[in-house]
Amino acid sequence: VIGVVIGKTDVRSFPDRKNIGSERYTFSFTVRDSPTYFINVNSWGREEYIRSLSESFRVGDCVIIENPLVQSKEAEREEKFNPVTPSSYKLLLSENHSVVKTSSCYEMDTKLLSLLHLPVKDPQDYYSLGDIIANGQSLDGRVLNVLAAVMSVS
């Protein structure tokens, strides 16, 4: 899989159920290879592997993912913690089998860079801030998608 990284989580750890007293580490990222398609990638493993992998690329980098495990995603559970994707699959990276390499987007395909700035949601699935203010009471408790742009940072 070749694509541009459009999102990435921080490294987290969880108690290992199989080895009481030890921890498993994880992080995930989202890769996009066309205007329409993007997929979540999860990685679990030892702390050294996960931290090294996470530090090897950033959002906006182009990556080549070799030998991932393709799994069906459990939509309800998966999409609580990861971006909603159009695919019914996710990729799982394994320390022993998978490789992630970074590469220049210019070397691979300059079209990949333009994908970084495309929204991942349907353009009809957004609320404007005006709509939210006007209909605030009726929207209470709902999850909303808001499309915004940063005008300045100070």
Residues of the chain with pLDDT under 70: 75-81, 105-109, 123
| Model confidence pLDDT, tens digit, residues 80-104 | 667 778 888 999 998 889 999 988 7
Q: Give the model's pLDDT for residue 80.
A: 65
Record the pTM: 0.77
Q: Quote the pLDDT of residue 105.
A: 64
Position 10 scores a pLDDT of 93
Vertex 65 angle, CA 94 and 118, to 5°:
125
Domains in the chain (CATH in brackets) are: 2-114 (2.40.50.140)
Q: What is the secondary structure of 52-68 as a DSSP string? A: HHHHT--TT-EEEEESP
Return the pLDDT at 47: 92
